[in-house]
């Protein structure tokens, strides 16, 4: 009878240890997913910003190639799908 009680206690401790390990594994997995999502969003925003900058430079070069005296710039031009905006200004000094 004494042996059965110690086995029951051991089974309870073992069950709690397994549950704790599963909890920490799930917690680590969720943290990894959140970190990966944040990294992917940061990369996406970087790519959108880079494309907006390139679009602004291309548009400014096109305007300058059509009219060499063009110096008015472009204000708050929005990229079609991303919603990013860009502005081209000239330093008149």
User: Can you say how many angstroms the Cα of residue 65 is from the centroid of all Cα atoms in its chain?
Assistant: 37
pLDDT digits (tens, 9 = 90+) for 29-80: 999 999 999 999 999 999 999 988 898 899 889 988 998 888 888 888 888 8
Please give the pLDDT value at position 29: 98
Residue 39, CB half-sphere, CA atoms under 13 Å: how many? Answer: 6
- In terms of Cα–Cα distance, which of 86, 27, 83 is closest to 59? 86
Query: Lowest-confidence range among 5-9, 12-16, 19-23, 60-64?
Result: 5-9
Q: In this structure, what token pair is assigned to residue 87? A: 């502005």
- In terms of Cα–Cα distance, which of 48, 43, 41 is closest to 85? 48
> With bands split at pLDDT 50, 70 and 90, how would you rate the model's confidence at 2?
low
Comparing 5 with 60, the larger pLDDT belongs to: 60
Residue 28 makes CB contacts below 8 A (sequence gap 6+) with none
């Amino acid at each position: 009878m004494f042996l059965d009680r110690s086995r029951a206690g051991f089974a309870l401790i073992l069950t709690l240890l397994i549950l704790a390990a599963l909890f920490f594994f799930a917690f680590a997995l969720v943290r990894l997913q959140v970190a990966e999502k944040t990294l992917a969003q940061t990369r996406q925003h970087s790519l959108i910003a880079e494309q907006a900058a390139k679009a602004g430079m291309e548009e400014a070069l096109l305007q300058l190639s059509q009219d060499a005296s063009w110096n008015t710039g472009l204000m708050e031009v929005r990229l079609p799908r991303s919603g990013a905006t860009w502005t081209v200004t000239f330093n008149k000094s």
